Chains A and B, each alone.
Chain A
Amino acid sequence: MSGGADPSSSEALLARLRRDTVWAGLALAAAALGLWPGQPARAAGVLGGLALIGLSYAGLRAGVDAALGLRMGAVSPAERPEIPADSPASGRSLGFVKFFTRHAILALGAYVMIARFELHPVAMLVGVTTPAIAAGIEFVRIVRARRTGSQSRSL
């Protein structure tokens, strides 16, 4: 992360990561469906893993935004970063509820998917890996942008 106090850059980073995660999950689900056409539980497992990590992300983000909103009460308005409009600035308590109950919801969701819906467990693990794939894509993107920037400066 480069220095500076630009909240929109972090929001843009998170938006790119969200988008890459969803695309990676959909691509992996499509690949699973293409490789094993007779077993849709594998593709559904990837999507189930994606849903689990999405729930986790939503809970973490709500909690961090709520906590940040609490902290920002002690900071002068000029130094206060903009918290995105869709964050629970008005419903801070709901953000904390989401944060602290996320593990229970995750455990319930994972149990239902594995034991009741019988989604493929390894495919679910692959679905949970998608944020790491998105982070890898973002890392490559940053390295390439820096390389391009340094080349253009040297010219």
Chain B
Amino acid sequence: MSTRRSFLSAFLMLLVAGLLSPVYAQEAAGATGTALVQWSIITAGFALAIAAAGGALGQGRAVSSATEAIARNPGAAGEIRGALILGLVLIESLVIYVLLISLILFFLKPFGG
């Protein structure tokens, strides 16, 4: 438990250190972004919104079904818990995909700009 906590603390400190460090890849402000770059950023925003909404709907349905099942059969709560956590993690991983793709479009700008 303490190992996990210290690992988590070290990870969070690394994140904060990364946040405070200067942006290494910052380029001089050049020409304004092309239309493609602007559209890719708009698309990233919409993609994140749609993914969050879809993920929330899916997780809501999963939690709703799990609580209903536990209410019907409280003795099976342990098994339902495992399936619920697995399902939620798999749904969440899809939302993280979209978060990463949106961050790529926001910050790395693969279409130039």
Bitwise interface map of A from 1 to 36 toward B, beta carbon under 8 Å scored 1, else 0: 101111111110110010000000000000000000
What does DSSP make chain B's interface, helix, strand, loop or mixed?
A: helix
CA distance A86 to B3 in the complex (A): 12
- A15 to chain B minimum Cβ distance, whole angstroms, is 10
Query: What is the distance, in angstroms, from B15's C-beta to the closest C-beta of chain A?
Result: 5
> Would you list which residues of chain B between 95 and 109 have a CB under 8 Å from chain A?
96-97, 99-101, 103-104, 107-108
Q: How far is the CA of A132 from the CA of B100 in the complex (A)?
A: 17
B85 interfacial by beta-carbon distance below 8 Å:
yes
Residue contact B89 to A116, C-beta cutoff 8 Å: no
Known: A53-B96, A79-B75, A128-B96. A114 touches B82 (CB 8 A): no
Kindly list chain B residues whose C-beta atoms are within 8 Å of the C-beta of A110.
96, 99-100, 103
Which residues of chain A have C-beta atoms less than 8 A from B49's C-beta? none
Check B38 for interface membership: any CB of A closer than 8 A.
Answer: no
Contact between chains at A118 and B99 (CB < 8 Å): no
Residue of A3, A53, A117 near B93 (CB, 8 A) is: A53
Residue in B25, B79, B99 whose Cβ sees the most chain A Cβ within 10 Å: B79
Given contacts A9-B82, A10-B79, A80-B74, contact A60 B88 (CB under 8 A): yes
Q: How far is the CA of A11 from the CA of B102 in the complex (A)?
A: 34
Instruction: Check if B90 sits within 8 Å of A132, measured CB to CB.
Output: yes
Alpha-carbon gap, A71 to B78, bound state (A): 12
CA distance A70 to B92 in the complex (A): 23
For B79, list chain A residues within 8 Å (CB): 1, 4-7, 9-10
CB pair A61–B74 under 8 Å, yes or no, is no
- Is A124 an interface position by the 8 A CB rule? yes
Given contacts A60-B89, A111-B103, A111-B107, contact A82 B78 (CB under 8 A): yes
Question: Which residues of chain B are within 8 angstroms of A125 by Cβ–Cβ distance?
Answer: 97, 100-101
Q: Which residue of A lies closest to B22 (CB)?
A: A116
Instruction: Supply 12 further A-B pairs (C-beta < 8 A) apart from A52-B96, A115-B103.
Output: A5-B79, A7-B78, A10-B81, A53-B89, A53-B92, A56-B92, A110-B100, A115-B25, A118-B24, A121-B108, A128-B97, A131-B89
